[in-house]
Structure 1
Amino acid sequence: MRLFRVVPKSVSPFERFVRAMALVAVVAGVVWAFEARFSRLADRYAAEETISDETRSLSDADRGELLRTAEDLKARFGLELVVRVFRAAVVVPELNEKTVFIGISTEGKTAKVVLPPLAAQALGPDFVGVLERDVLAASLATAQWQKGLRAAVDFLEQELSGLDAGEKK
Structure 2
Amino acid sequence: MKRLFFVPRGRSSSERLARGLLLAGVFALAVAAYQKNFERVIARTEARGVVADPAGVLTREDRLWLLEAAEHLRGRFGLELAVRLGTDPLPATAPNNPKKIVVYAASDCAGSRVVLPPLAAAGLPAGLPADLAREHLDAACRAGKAREGLLAAVGLLVSALDEAADKAKGDDT
TM-score range, shorter chain: 0.7 to 0.9
C-alpha deviations, 1:19-64, integer Å up to 9, x for none?
xxxxxx9989866654443232112111121101121121222222
2: CA distance between counterparts of 1:95 and 1:158? 24
1: CA distance between counterparts of 2:34 and 2:59? 30
2: CA distance between counterparts of 1:154 and 1:35? 32
Does the 8 Å contact 1:135/1:151 carry over to 2?
A: yes
Does the 8 Å contact 1:90/1:112 carry over to 2?
A: no
> What residue is the counterpart of 1:120 in the other structure?
121
1: CA distance between counterparts of 2:127 and 2:143? 23
Residue 91 of structure 1 deviates from its aligned partner by 2.9
Relative to structure 1, the CA distance from residue 122 to residue 30 in structure 2 (aligned partners, 3 Å threshold; closer, same or farther) is same
Q: TM-score w.r.t. structure 1 length?
A: 0.73
2: CA distance between counterparts of 1:28 and 1:65? 32
Residue 110 of structure 1 deviates from its aligned partner by 2.2
> What residue is the counterpart of 1:55 in the other structure?
55
Does the 8 Å contact 2:109/2:139 carry over to 1?
A: no
Moved more, 33-42 or 128-137: 33-42
Instruction: Name the SS for the 1:110 alignment partner.
Output: coil
C-alpha deviations, 1:42-92, integer Å up to 9, x for none?
1211112110112112122222222221121112221111001116x5234
Aligned length: 166
Residue 123 of structure 1 deviates from its aligned partner by 1.1
Quote the sequence identity (%).
Answer: 33
> What residue is the counterpart of 2:132 in the other structure?
131
Q: Which amino acid aligns with 1:66?
A: L
Relative to structure 1, the CA distance from residue 102 to residue 123 in structure 2 (aligned partners, 3 Å threshold; closer, same or farther) is same
Q: Which amino acid aligns with 1:90?
A: P
Q: Which amino acid aligns with 2:114?
A: V
> What residue is the counterpart of 2:38 in the other structure?
38
2: CA distance between counterparts of 1:48 and 1:163? 29
2: CA distance between counterparts of 1:6 and 1:139? 63
Instruction: Name the SS for the 2:70 alignment partner.
Output: helix
Q: Which amino acid aligns with 1:148?
A: G
Does the 8 Å contact 2:73/2:79 carry over to 1?
A: yes
Does the 8 Å contact 2:113/2:133 carry over to 1?
A: yes
What are structure 1's unaligned runs of at least 5 residues?
8-24
Relative to structure 1, the CA distance from residue 165 to residue 38 in structure 2 (aligned partners, 3 Å threshold; closer, same or farther) is same
Relative to structure 1, the CA distance from residue 107 to residue 77 in structure 2 (aligned partners, 3 Å threshold; closer, same or farther) is same
Relative to structure 1, the CA distance from residue 62 to residue 31 in structure 2 (aligned partners, 3 Å threshold; closer, same or farther) is closer
Does the 8 Å contact 1:90/1:104 carry over to 2?
A: no
